Structure formats: structure tokens, C-alpha cells
Amino acid sequence: MTNTPRSWLKLTVQCPPEQADNVAAMLASCSAGGVEHGFTGFDHDSPWEEISVYLEQDDSLNDCLQAINDYLEYLRSHHQAVEIPPPRTEVIVDRDWNATWKKEFTPLAVAPGLIIKPTWETYEPAPGEQVIEMDPGQAFGTGHHASTRLALHLLNLLFSEAEPPATVLDAGCGTGILAMAAALWGAEKVVAIDNDPLAVEATRFNSERNQLNSVIQTSQTPLPELTSPFQAVLANITADVLLDLAPELVRLVAPGGHLILAGVLTGQQEAEIVRHFQELGLLLRQQPHQDEWVAFLFRKPHDAQS
């Protein structure tokens, strides 16, 4: 008896970078396989992002397509200057779905001495290298995005200094890469929070897989309910959310501690973030760029109130 090959619909959405995280989260909610990120010129000065998802062609497909189209129409109506084109679709027939995913994910150096690898890959670390294993279903948030790599660069800088942070908060933890990196690099306590229960579950799963769950605490605790300050606070989210959360993020940085922000586009968003957080009393230490993305390392003065 011959097995019928599995059939999938690859759906690709083009969107401006500031909407990429929202679109990716929407697409990921329709598939257990995660999403892929890419870039396209698409007649704009800065590249647009391409986000793809693989949808199994079963009874739920029509509902998924309707939900995706409804969400894109919502974005168009609320961002009238942005005309997001209709999704592209392609039918994929593959006898070995896992093999298709394995071609997309290989070990990746995301920071000096830190390798992210999928669970199916074998990797022999060089002396001094540390490895984080990611679940194969967690394609979104695996360290490939520039904003994550910028945040990791700044976090690595903090842990290379004379007094590295002992306590770290990862606000909006996603799959837990920043939290796990902090734990690997020597943090004594890492609190990883997210308002998405799937993100909390992913962080918990990945921290257990990497034997870091004794250091990392995961929850959906809202920022206002956290009371103790941290020596380092990390937030890799979109610029509008960072601005909304700014007072709480600054409050949770201990005097003399640091705040790392990522997920921000260069230009107007960049200037607004710098101005806003400096007005809240923080000092800007570094501002690295990669492609059209920027991250920030702020320090709270020792004489500031937490």
C-alpha cells in the first residue's frame, strides 16, 4: 500500500517591518510549525519583511485562511498609509514534512560563543562555546531576526563587564532565547514573562530542555505586579509597546542597573525611544544597528529611585 504524500499550503505575507511581529504571531497561531522570516525590496526605501507559514490542507484550512485575511484587512483599515498586498500561496507536496523543516534550520551563532541549534542537529561546540537547543516547532523566535541578535549582543556586553547582572527580567520572553542566554552567561535569577500563554509555555519547555529551569522562572505576571527591581531588564518588543510600558520598565531597573530595548526601527521610532527613556531619567550607553533595526542599552544612575 502506498502512503499518500502530505499536502501543505505555503502562505506568504509581505508587510512593513513594524507590523512583522504582529503578522508573524497571527500566522503562527494558525500552524504548529511556526513561521519563516525573509526580506523583499517591494518598492520601498527600506525592505519589507516576508513571513511564511505552512498550513496543512485539512478541514481547518478555510477557517485559517479566513482568519488571516480578516486580520490583514484589519491592518489595512487601521494603517491606511500601508497597502499590504494579498498573500501569495503555493501548494507543497512532501512525503517527509520534517525533512522540509530541517532544511530551513541549522546551527546559528547568534552572539560571541553562543550557538542556537535545532534539536535534530548534532553540533560539537568549540572550546568556550555554549549551545541552546530549540524545539523544532518554534521557528518564530529562534535568534535569526536582527532585533534578537542586537539584544543578545548588548546582553553579552553586560555579562562581559566587571559586575555582570545577577538578576534579569525578560519582559515579553517569546521562546525564551534572551532569558536562556542570561542564565547561561551567569545570571543567578531570571524572570521571564509574557502575556501570551503559548510564549510562556515555549519558554518553560525550552528552559527545561536546556536544563536552565532552576534559574528561569516563567509566568504571565503583568509588569505592574512585579515589585523587586532587577539589575538588567530586557524587552524585545515593538516600539509602540515599549513606549506604553516605559514607566514600568524603568521602575523595574535597579539603581545602577541596565535596560536593553530591541524591536525598534531606525529613524523616527529610534529617536522617539531615545527621547522618551532619557526623559524618564535613563542614560544611553550604546545604540547598535543591524539592517533597518536598532537596539539600546540604557543605564539607570546609582542615585535614581527604583
Of residues 267 and 150, more confidence is placed in 150
- Give the DSSP letter string of 237-299: S-HHHHHHHHHHHHHTEEEEEEEEEEEEETTHHHHHHHHHHHHTT-EEEE--EETTEEEEEEE
Residue 265: what pLDDT?
A: 83
DSSP 64: H
Residue 263 among known ligand-binding residues: no
Query: Which of 43-47, 81-85, 234-238 tops mean pLDDT?
Result: 234-238
Strand-pair partners of 131: 115
Residue 267 among known ligand-binding residues: no
35: helix, strand or coil: strand
104 burial type by CB count under 10 A (0-12 exposed, 13-18 middle, 19+ buried): middle
Average pLDDT of every residue of the chain: 84
Residue 148 among known ligand-binding residues: yes
Residue 79: what pLDDT?
A: 66
Residue 248: what pLDDT?
A: 98
Could you state, in order of their start, the residue ranges of all structural domains in the chain?
Answer: 6-104, 108-299
**pLDDT tens for each residue of 26-54:** 787 676 555 676 655 444 444 577 888 88
The listed CATH number (3.40.50.12280, 3.30.420.130, 3.30.300.30, 3.30.70.120) that belongs to domain 6-104: 3.30.70.120
Residue 194 among known ligand-binding residues: yes
For 209, list phi and psi in degrees, rounded to 5. Answer: -60, -35
pLDDT at 90 over 50: yes
How would you classify the pairing of strands 108-111 and 114-118? antiparallel
Residue 80: what pLDDT?
A: 58
CA distances for 200 relative to 68, 183, 270, angstroms:
23, 16, 28
For range 251-269, the mean pLDDT: 93
**pLDDT tens for each residue of 104-148:** 667 888 888 899 888 777 888 888 899 998 864 544 566 767 888
**pLDDT tens for each residue of 193-225:** 998 887 888 889 899 999 999 999 999 999 999
Of residues 165 and 21, more confidence is placed in 165
**Residue type at 182?**
A
**pLDDT tens for each residue of 169-182:** 999 998 899 999 99
Q: What pTM was computed for the model?
A: 0.71
108-299 folds as Rossmann fold (3.40.50)
Of residues 84 and 285, more confidence is placed in 285
Percent of the chain, pLDDT > 70?
Answer: 83
Residue 39: what pLDDT?
A: 57
CA-closest candidate to residue 292, choices 239, 234, 231: 239
Residue 94: what pLDDT?
A: 59
